[in-house]
């Protein structure tokens, strides 16, 4: 038996979130996500959480488990090495119900950085060539699953509601650094200003939290460098 | 009346997004309805790649669409409709280049072209890939494009029913999972792109949301037939325990399969193609090794990547390594991976033609939910992602053609009537005083399907399976919900899905029972050979009150006559 | 305005080194600017002439204030060396080795501070 | 946009300058005569060296700029004065100027006597 302390909150009826305790009959290889299913199927059908792939690729199940933002499906109970497991929703995001948070703000920020490849030259008949080295530059960034763990862990994003946040900035870098994209300095303009890349104070919480081992700080630092250079060099057009 | 869109696409995976983009490009008002946020769709999980005869790879320079078509048709055990396969394989290079132009970060060759790897059942390295996260790379690009084009998405809505009026589809009824409200939406055309039903089975590589609810809605409420549902693909290599997929790319890159005698047992089954024989053959070989005891813990054999070396594994299969590290606690760089076959893909689906049209006017289907059929009895790896995009696009365009040509008919009443019916059904479920635990019904269904309708099938097993499913259907009527909360009621959602699962399971088993031959993924130990004389035909299952009614339809054969299938 | 200042927003979040470094950097930075303003006011007693200045300074170099000076030194050392760490990142170097760099820079800070303590102790217990 | 990047850069530049200047200042003032009482006359002698005068007054300038600009960052981080960002910058600049003048006058008082 493993004890689960799960944060519950239904804004329609509850005034404030509270913790509820469940005893889960844990299998040897059980993940936190499976334990949550155990709860809905056997103990409390009203518990709500998001899920889809159960294989750490879809980004649905990010939540706070024993004090860290993690993917529930990727976190095996045995790795937590703890008889009591505390689960709460991702901090700093509005709670929809129980472990489900409102990701609107997260995706609005994502949309701000024009999250798509822009190339104004006419498309060739075949592929746009890209060398292995050019492709390698964005290898880390394309692994992002938009789970929001980093955004929710970033204290700056929590206090400055306009801060674009690590995930969207990583995306911004992913396109800026893509040799096939030619939006160039305009991409930098999208992450400039008081609440853009420069607002990041290199906390590294994002890197600590990322379940895909991405270091958003790296991308953000490249953008900062770009911003400063572009401010003091003539924008290449 | 309330919500209306000219085209409603159900599903935001690759096929759904592509269909919506196509229809919007034609100037229509389009909306997508999806159970989850688009990037949470199951397409994200595809690893290995997407097939197109680009002829980029060393040793693949002679590739062309015809060879791709031949491999596909041979792989399908000649059950695929060859006209549709021709369309798909001709469109393939264009589709892949389009995705590349939209931004997909494909892996590259030395000269900067899209890299291609060998895949099972293909004569050339034809599978374009982005490391081992191809589905992720493609779905993100498709989503990015949809953000750019500002496609409207109704997120976290569950399709419950398709509304008919005057023999045409006029809209849908759906549950807003976020607040428990059930709503009707009218539409001039509906495209079902809701993916597969893998979770009917116990060991499945699929996402937990792949419950086939879209297929079930088409079958149960729209009354359109399901085609070839008995053809269920088992992937040879799913991670023992969680059944998370270990991509075919792992063998494509040179991985070996070993039994407990440290023997590359594939030499006994497909001496030439070895590990890269098509999926049905490799899955059966592994299952035979397991059944005959040449395995570990009575359950798995080993997939060995160690000889590929650290560098290649880190470069080409980093995601696989992560999966092994997190979910099995081992590093494939220095340990072989325990694997077993797992349910993976549905060759069958909603019966459509190559335009995505179903038998109901205004209702279209694409992607894994549909059966065009291009995969016939067995899908080749890398052909499904291709199928989703090609036929997603085509169905989007055909749907908009249909909408433009169609004259308006007021369907308000039909919508309201269906809405009332669905609401009544849901409240019956919510207030049921039955004693049955739905979790038990669900898990018994899973084991039944694994055991009675798995890799190897017999008359006796299938009959037992059918009887069990009938029993479970009765018990389903007696289930009670654990929660009646309106907002985000997982219990309700999962039990609504269960009804559809049971219906699809019955179709699968009945089709398999009737099909007295072995073809592609459908293997009957009591009829171990293919029988073209009687069975070179598609199964169509129609819903009736008393269960599925089956009839059959000819296979379209254009240039490739059926021959014996050896590898 | 204040609803952003919930406990978890300000206190270390993921309890990684980066977060603690940031919190301390911020606290020391704010202390330093506060100190600097005060320092300016103190020094500007020079405008009143040598005597008032010497009198004031005699008070401010008494043992209790020496202890405060040691705290000030710790703040300067931490803020300065961690600031150097941040500037190093800003040039694009060492981002993936952030933890190692943190400890490497903390080392001289601790050494200097302990040495200073060693030299100062006799003056505190005069 | 440009202002944000400029201030960000100046924060780093001043940081590096302070790092050097403050090192010299602390070493000269507090370590060379460790434990000695600090006397007006002693400071006067030190400040007659042009180098030390430059060091101390540039520390005054860079320190104020860096510190107050840092304070601005902190306040904006917590959404304070976000809408009155211009006002905030002005107020902080004025505080900076006042203290700079006070500081310079204080330093001169040691020399001109
Ligand atoms: C692990 C794995 C790896 C694979 N790898 C490859 C590969 O390498 N190459 C290849 O070609 N193929 C691969 N496949 C197959 C391929 O990924 C899928 O067949 C394909 O992605 C299906 O796409 P889709 O658009 O049809 O559906 P999905 O991507 O499954 O999307 C379904 C959508 O429908 C929505 N939906 C479902 N039901 C409802 C409902 N009732 N109401 C509202 N919305 C609903 C969901 O929210 C979702 O958005 C793989 C499959 C698996 C399981
Ligand atoms: C010793 C040399 C110093 C260095 C290398 C240094 C470096 C830095 C750097 C790089 C930052 C930016 C931090 C960020 O944006 O996250 C910063 C912030 C700050 N510094 Fe300094 N600094 C030094 C001395 C000082 C002094 C003397 C003061 C006081 C006058 C001071 C006060 C501040 C303040 C208030 C901040 C803002 C705090 C924050 O953003 O968290 N610093 N410092
Ligand atoms: S960067 Fe990492 S933590 Fe952030 S959204 Fe992407 S995958 Fe999640
Ligand atoms: S946690 Fe936040 S402040 Fe920067 S380094 Fe990461 S984005
Ligand atoms: S369920 Fe997809 S990431 Fe956990």
CA dihedral B375, B379, B384, B386 (to 10 degrees): -70
Q: Please, are residues B17 and B391 in contact by the beta-carbon 8 Å criterion?
A: no
Return d(Cα A28, Cα B375) in angstroms, integer: 38
Please tell me whether residues A156 and A221 are part of one structural domain. yes
Question: Is B204 touching ligand 1 by the criterion CB < 6 Å?
Answer: no
The domain of C47 spans: 7-124
In the block, tokens 């779905």 appear at B139
B279 catalytic? Reply is: yes
Is any Cβ of chain A less than 8 angstroms from the Cβ of C88?
no
Give how far A59 is from chain B: nearest CA, Å.
Answer: 7
Bridge partners for B187 per DSSP: B5
User: Treating both helix axes as pointing N-terminal to C-terminal, what angle do B383-405 and B134-148 enclose, rounded to 10 degrees?
Assistant: 30
Nearest Cα residue to A69 out of A2, A169, A151 = A151
In the complex, which subunits touch B with 3 or more CB pairs below 8 angstroms?
A
CATH number at residue A109: 1.10.1060.10
Which residue from B102, B106, B482 is facing A45, i.e. has the nearest CB? Answer: B482
- Residue closest via CA to ligand 3's atom 5 equals A146
Residue of B554, B555, B467, B551 lying closest to B514 (CA atoms): B551
Of all residues in chain A, the one with the smallest CA distance to B147 is: A111
pLDDT of residue C2: 44
D70 contacts on C by Cβ (under 8 Å): 29-30, 33
Q: What is the pLDDT of residue B493?
A: 95
When CB atoms are compared, the residue of D15, D43, D103 closest to C40 is D103
Return the exposure string of B240-279: e unless at least 16 CB atoms fall within 10 Å of the residue's CB, then b. bbbbbbbbbbbbbbbbbbbbbeeeebbeebbeebbbbbbb
- Classify domain B234-342 by CATH architecture: Alpha-Beta Complex (3.90)
Integer Cα distance of B56 and A190 in angstroms: 36
The answer to whether A29 and A76 are in contact (CB under 8 A) is yes
| Alpha-carbon gap, residue A130 to B377, rounded angstroms | 38
| Residue A107 Cβ contacting ligand 4 at under 6 Å | no
Torsion of CA B439, B442, B443, B449, to 10 degrees: 180
Q: What is the pLDDT of residue C14?
A: 60
Number of residues that make up chain D: 113
Q: List C-alpha distances in Å: B545 to B159, B218, B220, B223.
A: 21, 15, 10, 11
Residue A128 sits in the same domain as residue A168: yes
Residues A35, A109, single domain; the answer is no
Whole-angstrom distance, CA of residue A100 vs CA of residue A96: 5
Q: What is the per-residue pLDDT for D89?
A: 92
Among residues A78, A101, A124, the one where a domain terminates is A101
Instruction: Say if residue C114's pLDDT is above 90.
Output: yes
For residue B213, give Cα distances in angstroms to A100, B13, B183, B190.
23, 14, 17, 15
Residues of chain A in contact with residue C18, where contact means CB-CB under 8 angstroms, are: 202-205, 207-208, 217
Calculate how close chain D gets to C84, using CA atoms only, in Å: 7
The pair of structure tokens assigned to C41 is 């006011």
**CATH for C87:** 1.20.1300.10
pLDDT band, residue D109 (cuts 50/70/90): confident
Q: Which atom of ligand 4 is nearest to the CA of A169?
A: 7
Q: Under DSSP, is residue B189 helix (H, G, I), strand (E, B) or coil?
A: strand
Closest of B67, B47, B46, B79 to residue B125, by C-alpha: B67
Secondary element (H or E) of residue B416: helix B412-430
Asked if residue C126 has pLDDT above 70, the reply is no
Q: Which residue, of A101, A136, A160, is where some domain finishes?
A: A101
CB A210 within 8 A of CB C21: no
Is the CB of C19 inside 8 Å of chain A's CB atoms?
yes
Ligand 2 site, residue D73, Cβ cutoff 6 A: yes
Chains C and A touch (3+ CB pairs under 8 A): yes
Fold topology of B413-552:
Methane Monooxygenase Hydroxylase; Chain G, domain 1 (1.20.58)
- Chain C residues within 8 Å of chain D (Cβ atoms): 1, 4-5, 26, 29-30, 32-33, 36-37, 40-41, 43-47, 50, 53-54, 57-58, 60-61, 69, 73, 76, 80, 83-84, 86-87, 90, 116, 119-120, 122-123
Kind of pairing between the strands at B301-304 and B337-346:
antiparallel
**Average pLDDT value over all residues in chain D:** 89
At B278 the pLDDT is: 84
Residue A48 counted as domain residue: yes
> Taking the domains of chain D in order of start, what are their residue ranges?
3-112
Q: How far is CA B560 from the centre of its chain?
A: 25
Nearest atom in ligand 1 to B384's CA: 11
Other C-beta atoms within 10 Å of C90: how many?
19
Round to whole Å and give the CA distance between A41 and B479: 13
Number of structural domains found in chain A: 2
DSSP bridge partners of A4: A22, A85
Angle value at C-alpha B409, between B408 and B413, nearest 5 degrees: 145
Neighbours of chain A (3+ CB pairs under 8 A): B, C, D
Q: Give CA angle at B134 (B283, B83), nearest 5°.
A: 70
> Do both A153 and A220 map to the same domain?
yes
Task: For residues A87 and A139, state if they share a domain.
Answer: no
Its CATH architecture, for the domain D3-112, is: Up-down Bundle (1.20)
Determine the number of helices (DSSP H) and then strands (DSSP E) in chain A: 10, 7
Map tokens 């300074």 to a residue: C57
Query: Using CA atoms, how far apart are residues C45 and B219, in angstroms rounded to an integer?
Result: 90
> Are the CB atoms for B85 and B215 separated by under 8 Å?
no
Bridge partners of B337, per DSSP, are: B303
In sequence order, the 6+-apart residues with CB closer than 8 A to the CB of C41 are: D102
Active-site pick, B126, B279, B494, B515: B279
Question: What is the domain count for chain C?
Answer: 1
Total residues found in chain B within this entry:
567
* Domain termination residue (choose one: A83, A101, A119): A101
pLDDT at C7: 47
Which H or E element spans position B159? strand B157-165
Full domain range(s) for residue A119: 104-232
Average pLDDT of span B535-545: 96
Distance linking the first and last C-alpha atoms of chain C: 50
Q: How many CB pairs under 8 A join A and C?
A: 67
Q: What pLDDT digit, counting tens, does each position of B385-422 carry?
A: 999 999 999 999 999 999 999 877 778 899 999 999 99
| C2 within a domain of the structure (yes/no) | no
- Taking only the tens place, the pLDDT of each residue in B29-88 is 999 999 999 999 999 999 989 999 999 988 888 999 999 999 999 999 999 999 999 999
Angle at B516 between CA B513 and CA B517, to 5 degrees: 125
CA of B370 to the centre of ligand 1 (A): 11
Alpha carbon of residue B547 to chain centroid: 23
3-state secondary structure of A117: coil
* Residue contact A227–D79, C-beta within 8 A: no
For residue C83, report the distance from its CA to the centre of ligand 2, in Å: 6
What pLDDT, in 10s, does the model give residues D36-73? 778 888 888 888 888 888 999 999 999 999 999 999 99
CB-ligand 5 contact for A56 (6 Å cutoff): yes
How far does A235 lie from chain B, in Å, by closest CA? 24
pLDDT digits (tens, 9 = 90+) for B21-42: 999 999 999 999 999 999 999 9
- Is C54 in contact with D39 (Cβ distance < 8 A)? yes
Give the pLDDT confidence score for residue B296 in this predicted structure.
Answer: 94
What six digits make up the tokens of B250? Answer: 């792992």
Peptide bond into B104 cis (omega under 30): no
> Quick check: helix, strand or coil at residue B405?
helix
Q: Is B344 in the pocket of ligand 1 (CB under 6 A)?
A: yes
* Two tokens, residue A119: 């190339």
- Angle between the N-to-C axes of helices B412-430 and B490-514, in degrees from 0 to 180, rounded to the nearest 10: 100
Each residue's pLDDT tens digit, B313-351: 998 898 899 999 999 989 999 999 999 999 999 999 999
Which residue ranges in chain A fall short of pLDDT 50? 235-237
Over residues C47-67, the pLDDT tens digits come to: 888 889 989 988 888 888 888
Q: Which chain A residue is nearest to residue B146, measuring alpha carbons?
A: A116
| Residue D19 Cβ < 6 Å to ligand 2 | yes
- What mean pLDDT value characterizes chain B? 94
Q: Which residue has the tokens 């999926």?
A: B279
Task: Give the mean pLDDT of D16-29.
Answer: 90
CB contact under 8 A, D4 and A198: yes
Whole-complex ipTM: 0.93
Closest approach of chain A CAs to the CA of B119, in angstroms?
21
């Amino acid at each position: 038996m493993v004890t689960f302390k799960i944060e519950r909150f239904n804004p329609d009826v509850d005034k404030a979130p509270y913790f509820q305790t469940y005893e889960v009959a844990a299998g040897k290889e059980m993940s936190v996500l499976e334990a949550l299913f155990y709860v809905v199927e056997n103990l409390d059908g009203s518990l709500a959480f998001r899920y889809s792939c159960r294989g750490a690729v879809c980004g649905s199940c990010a939540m706070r488990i024993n004090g860290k933002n993690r993917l529930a499906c990727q976190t095996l109970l045995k790795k937590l090495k703890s008889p009591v497991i505390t689960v709460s929703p991702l901090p700093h995001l509005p709670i929809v119900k129980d472990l489900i948070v409102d990701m609107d703000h997260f995706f609005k920020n994502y949309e701000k950085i024009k999250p798509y490849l822009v190339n104004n030259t006419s498309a060739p008949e075949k592929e746009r060539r890209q060398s292995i080295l050019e492709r390698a530059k964005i290898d880390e960034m394309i692994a992002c699953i938009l789970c929001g763990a980093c955004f929710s862990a970033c204290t700056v994003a929590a206090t400055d509601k306009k801060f674009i946040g690590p995930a969207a900035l990583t995306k911004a870098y992913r396109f800026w650094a893509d040799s096939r994209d030619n939006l160039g300095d305009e991409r930098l303009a999208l992450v400039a200003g008081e609440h853009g890349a420069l607002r990041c104070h290199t906390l590294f919480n994002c890197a600590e939290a990322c379940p895909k081992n991405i270091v958003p700080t790296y991308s953000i630092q490249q953008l900062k460098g770009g911003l400063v250079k572009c401010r003091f060099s003539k924008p290449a057009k | 009346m309330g919500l209306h869109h000219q085209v409603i696409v159900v599903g935001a995976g690759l096929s759904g997004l592509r269909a919506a983009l196509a229809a919007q490009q034609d100037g229509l008002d389009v909306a997508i309805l999806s159970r989850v946020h688009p990037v949470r769709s199951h397409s994200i999980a595809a690893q290995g790649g997407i097939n197109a005869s680009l002829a980029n790879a060393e040793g693949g320079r002679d590739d062309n669409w015809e060879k791709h078509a031949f491999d596909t048709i041979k792989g399908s055990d000649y059950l695929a409709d060859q006209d549709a396969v021709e369309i798909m394989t001709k469109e393939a290079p264009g589709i892949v280049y389009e995705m590349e132009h939209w931004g997909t970060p494909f892996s590259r060759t030395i000269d900067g072209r899209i890299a291609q790897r060998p895949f099972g059942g293909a004569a050339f390295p034809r599978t374009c890939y982005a490391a081992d996260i191809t589905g992720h790379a493609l779905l993100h690009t498709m989503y990015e494009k949809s953000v750019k084009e500002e496609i409207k998405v109704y997120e976290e809505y569950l399709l419950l029913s398709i509304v008919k009026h005057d023999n045409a589809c006029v809209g849908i009824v759906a549950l807003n999972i976020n607040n428990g409200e059930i709503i009707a939406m009218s539409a001039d055309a509906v495209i079902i792109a809701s993916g597969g039903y893998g979770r009917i089975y116990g060991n499945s590589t699929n996402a937990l949301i792949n419950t086939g609810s879209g297929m079930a809605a088409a079958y149960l409420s729209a009354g359109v037939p399901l085609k070839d549902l008995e053809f269920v693909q088992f992937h040879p290599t799913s991670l023992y325990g969680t059944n998370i997929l270990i991509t075919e790319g792992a063998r494509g890159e040179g991985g070996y399969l070993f039994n407990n005698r440290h023997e590359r047992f594939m030499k006994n089954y497909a001496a030439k193609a070895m590990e890269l024989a098509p999926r049905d053959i490799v899955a059966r070989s592994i299952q035979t090794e397991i059944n005959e005891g040449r395995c570990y813990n009575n359950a798995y054999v080993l997939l060995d990547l160690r000889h590929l070396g650290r560098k290649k594994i880190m470069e080409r299969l980093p995601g696989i390594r992560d999966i092994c590290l997190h979910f099995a606690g081992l590093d494939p760089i220095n340990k072989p991976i325990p694997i077993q076959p797992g349910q993976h893909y549905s060759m069958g689906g909603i019966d459509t033609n190559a335009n995505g049209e179903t038998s109901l006017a205004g209702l279209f289907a694409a992607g894994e939910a549909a059966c065009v059929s291009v995969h016939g009895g067995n899908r080749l790896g890398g052909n499904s992602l291709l199928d989703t995009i090609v036929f997603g696009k085509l169905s989007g365009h055909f749907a908009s053609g249909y909408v433009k040509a169609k004259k308006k008919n007021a369907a308000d009443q039909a919508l309201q009537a269906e809405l009332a019916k669905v609401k009544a059904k849901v409240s019956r479920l919510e207030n049921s005083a039955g004693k049955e635990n739905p979790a038990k019904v669900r898990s018994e269904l899973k084991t039944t399907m694994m055991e009675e309708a798995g890799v190897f099938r017999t008359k006796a097993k299938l009959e037992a399976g059918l009887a069990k499913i009938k029993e479970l259907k009765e018990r389903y009527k007696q289930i009670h919900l654990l929660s009646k909360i309106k907002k985000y009621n997982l219990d309700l959602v999962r039990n609504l899905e269960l009804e559809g699962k049971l219906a699809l399971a019955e179709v699968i088993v009945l089709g398999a029972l009737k099909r007295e031959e072995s073809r592609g993924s459908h293997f009957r130990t009591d009829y171990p050979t293919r029988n073209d004389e009687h069975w070179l035909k598609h199964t169509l299952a129609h819903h009736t009150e008393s269960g599925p009614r089956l009839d059959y339809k000819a296979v379209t054969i254009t240039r490739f006559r059926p021959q014996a299938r050896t590898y | 305005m204040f609803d952003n200042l919930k406990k978890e927003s300000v206190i270390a979040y993921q309890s990684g080194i980066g977060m603690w470094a940031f919190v301390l950097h911020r606290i020391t930075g704010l202390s330093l600017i506060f100190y600097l303003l005060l320092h300016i006011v103190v020094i500007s007693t020079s405008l009143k002439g040598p005597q008032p200045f010497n009198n004031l300074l005699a008070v401010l170099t008494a043992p209790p204030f020496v202890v405060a000076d040691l705290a000030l030194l710790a703040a300067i050392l931490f803020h300065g060396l961690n600031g150097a760490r941040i500037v190093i990142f800003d040039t694009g170097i060492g981002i993936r080795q952030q933890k190692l760099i943190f400890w490497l820079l903390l080392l001289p800070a601790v050494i200097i501070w302990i040495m200073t303590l060693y030299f100062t102790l006799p003056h505190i217990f005069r | 946009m440009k202002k944000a990047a400029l201030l960000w850069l100046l924060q780093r530049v001043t940081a590096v300058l302070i790092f050097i200047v403050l090192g010299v200042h602390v070493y000269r003032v507090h370590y060379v005569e460790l434990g000695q009482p600090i006397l007006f006359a002693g400071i006067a002698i030190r400040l007659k060296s042009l180098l030390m005068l430059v060091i101390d007054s540039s520390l005054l300038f860079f320190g104020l700029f860096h510190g107050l600009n840092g304070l601005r960052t902190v306040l904006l981080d917590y959404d304070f004065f976000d809408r009155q960002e211009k006002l905030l910058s002005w107020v902080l600049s004025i505080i900076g100027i006042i203290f700079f003048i006070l500081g310079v006058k204080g330093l001169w008082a040691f020399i001109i006597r």
